[in-house]
Amino acid sequence: MRRYGSPVNATRFVLAVVLATGLVIPMIAARASAQSTIPLVLSVPSLWEDVLTPDLLAEFEAQHPGVDVITTFSTTTFFGFGMPGSTVDDQLDTTEEQVLAADVLYVDQTTLSAAGTQAGYFLDLLPLAMSDPTLDVADFVPAVWQSYQWDNGLWALPLSTDVILLTYDPVAFDEAGLAYPHERWTIDDFANAARALTQYNADGAVATAGFSTVSGGNNQEVFLRALAGTGLYDVTTVPNAPSLANPALEYILQTWYELTQEGVVLAQGGGRDENVPLRVEGINGYTQRGPNQNSAETRYATLLPGGVAGLSVQGFAVSAGTQYPELAYALASFLTGRSELTSNSFSAAPARYSLASTQSATNTSAGAGGVPGGGPGGGFFGNRTIPETIQPVIDQGLAAGLPIAELRFVSYLSTALSDMRTNGTDALSALQVAEAQAISDMQTAMARAGTTSLYVTAPAPEPELPPGKIELTCAVNLGFGGGLGGFSQLANQEAWDRLIADFVARDPQVGAVTLEQTRESDLAALAEQYDCFILPSNAVEGADVSSLLSLDPLLDTDPTFDRNDVIGNTLTQLQQDNKTWALPLAIEPQMLEYDPDQFARAGVPEPLNGWTVDAFVDALRMLKPYDTDPTPFVAEDPSGSYLMMLIAAFGGLPLDYRTDPPAVNFTDPATVDAIRQVLDLAAQGYISYGGLQSFRLADPGTTTTPAITTNTLNQFRVLRLPGAGNTTQSTQVTTTYPQGSQYGVIAYEITTGYISVTAQNPDATYRFLSEVSRHPRLFSGMPARQSLTSNPDVVAAQGAEIVAVYQQLDALLRSPNTIVFPTFTTGRGGGGLTMIQSYWLRRAFDRYISEGADLELELAEAEALTLAYLECTQSITVDVSETSGQQMGRQFELIGQCATSVDPTFSMGG
């Protein structure tokens, strides 16, 4: 059994992906005949690496002696044929690469489409399914089973599904005097509700839309298809041809377009929708983010128009290029029967009724949780919390779901809407153009059928090490900051491959470096398994570093390393007992950015070299001369750390991060005064304010670009400085937070590298990490060394002006009066222990803003509760015999018990 990663897992292999020709047939035949085992390549998402374990696949291999399942982990996704900005050729090319690289592929509605099947890229599984005596079709939810059946074929076996419904806030409907939505509503009913529910600013601009479909990839199209009441294809032809242009759909699309133009509806790309009272959303996304992130809100649900629900179905398909179709089908069938895989990040329910009962023990649904359609009763949604107001509708939705087959070609509705917005095209003409494009795309796909020799070739075995060479193992965990879609995935595999190849070619000792992606963050667990590992934050502070190697002897003998070259006091933050335990690889400073055009119109001087607190306050007041003007400072930070930094700049330190753990002093007069000044600015509308207790972003109150906002300085944000003459599309200018007369403030994260104390070759391991540190573009952050700001790659990405910013940051960090604050995602500021530590302080802020509570009394209560909580946590211990995941879970359980013991009303949900 072999496991390979794309983009990252084992870089010490040669991946042979044969892309097209009959010339490879003899090679494949010879290889197959010479093999003692049968290789089956399985491609699944990268985030499944910890779930799709070798032990799980070993069960399949034991059932099929001689089979070797080779797992590859992929990040490749796209968003539907016909979507604006994509071409059918590009997407077919991507699909072709996928089916040439794996026998069995994880698929969903974005990666398995009618175009892909008509191009001949996927094996029709219907003959194999019909002859499979172990397959019980009645065990599948009917609509889910039908999802990948079209054009007389079965193109995938379903694994799991999400259910897309209408959810709504009954309080908002009651206040607007509206009847609750139901399945018989028409587009006119939705238009009336959207307009009535929309909240407006004093100037007439939309503050909060009344209706949204933005919370899912294709929720807008699913909703429009439900309104249409019929599929967008011609049932009289096989393959089914696209059919979009009809009068009923014309009226629906025209009305929808008008609603989005008015701003009363948020569609794809329309912004945040957590405050929107009526939403189309998948239940999986709903349960993950919760009802408005606020436990006080109760949402109801109903089916989509026509009495249906949308389905987002995941499954396994087989490449038409497999050399072992029966075994590939058997593997796909085996995987769809595994409950470990049905509880994935994309779904809310397994496709099979029989798997529902296996999850019932952990079901936390407040409703009945029964399975419709004759399947077994019990929890269908694993450990997700399903509100009792929604559960019955989910059950109805599973019974009346729209199979994926019924959603074919709906992505072309986005093409039509884009045409209407961009070119002013009327709805019918736009639908006709979109239909013509869909037909052309299908013709392009069918023309590809049979033109490419499809043969899946397994990755080559790992080569042997040259004599006298060693292998290093290193793990990479980049957390939220380094991955796509918020997972620990590396998007720059080629850059890592080049670095490793260059390093191995030059290093006299190292012959191979095995690089694996991981979600593990426990120092001891990582140090036990790897020579080195990379984490997205500083894990040294307050940690047990006994599993780590002190780097000082290596740093001091490295002629390429200068301690004074490291920005600010970054190196000091990675020390315990005057020893350095991590190598800084990159930093991500939290910055502000402002719109120079708005500053100029308001007559506000630009903060060319930073600004003082007084200058910052003057800017806010000049940017908002009237109460009806938009809020000038809108922070993209639900944790409220931007407020904590502003409070420090005003001279207050409710939590003093110069000590570990942070010192608590909410009631110091200077702190109370600073908190009041900052919160009053928020209460008066100069600074955005969400619900800090529930980590909710504030509604900006306008769709225009704010005058001031927060950002993170990294390689994904092109830097623009005052007077830089930058001609990029972004007009925002980067600057620091305002600095006070007593304290300077900054928050930044450090990407860090560590060496295990048990590493067999620490010198070689350090040489590799040192090489990584000279390539900050491997990470989402910026260089941790000033000398690297002249690196051509950095300059090309950020401009020569980055040197000036680094000088400013370096001076700020070296100042003894600067307070370094935690970022939202760090263990230091975002872990369970410290997040709860600030819970009662954030609650005091909320009560002062929203209820006008007495600030001194609230802060006094918050301080007393916080100190009592901290005293309780001092007695928390963990069982060292447990895994790191078990220890973390146990710790969270115990700190939660401490919080509720001092305050029975405690709830992290708000």
3-class DSSP string for 220-289: HHHHHHHHHCCCCEECCCCCCEECCCCHHHHHHHHHHHHHHHHCCEECCCCCCCCCCCEEEEEHHHHHHH
Amino acid occupying residue 731: T
234-263: pLDDT as tens digits: 999 999 999 999 888 999 999 999 999 999
Out of 613-627, 766-780, 782-796, 805-819, which region has the weakest mean confidence (pLDDT)?
782-796
Judged against a pLDDT cut of 70, whether residue 295 lies above it is answered with no
CB 690 within 8 A of CB 635: no
According to DSSP, residue 180 is labeled P
CB 752 within 8 A of CB 545: no
pLDDT range class, residue 280, cuts 50, 70, 90: very high
- Report pLDDT for 824: 55
Judged against a pLDDT cut of 70, whether residue 889 lies above it is answered with no
According to DSSP, residue 625 is labeled -
- Report pLDDT for 489: 43
Quote the Cα angle for 450-456-459, to 5°.
155
426-474: pLDDT as tens digits: 999 999 999 999 999 999 999 999 898 999 988 877 778 889 999 999 9
What does each C-alpha distance from 516 to 40, 105, 584, 763, 783 come to in angstroms? Answer: 21, 21, 20, 20, 23
Better-predicted residue by pLDDT, 30 or 659: 659
pLDDT range class, residue 588, cuts 50, 70, 90: confident
Inter-residue long-range contacts of 430-435, CB under 8 Å, 24+ positions, other chains counted? 430/253, 431/244, 431/245, 431/246, 431/249, 431/250, 431/253, 432/244, 432/245, 434/82, 434/244, 435/242, 435/243, 435/244, 435/245
The pLDDT mean for the chain works out to: 82
3-class secondary structure, 669 = helix
Q: Residues 70-95: what's their mean pLDDT?
A: 72
CB 88 within 8 A of CB 439: no
Q: Residues 304-331: what's their mean pLDDT?
A: 96
Judged against a pLDDT cut of 80, whether residue 108 lies above it is answered with yes
- Report pLDDT for 778: 85
From the list 642, 638, 603, 632, the residue with the least C-alpha distance to 704 is 632
- Report pLDDT for 22: 28
Residue partners of 50: CB distance under 8 A and separation at least 6: 519
3-class secondary structure, 748 = strand
599-658: pLDDT as tens digits: 999 999 999 888 999 999 999 999 999 988 899 998 877 667 889 999 999 999 999 988
Distance of CA 203 to the CA centre of its chain: 35
- Report pLDDT for 491: 59
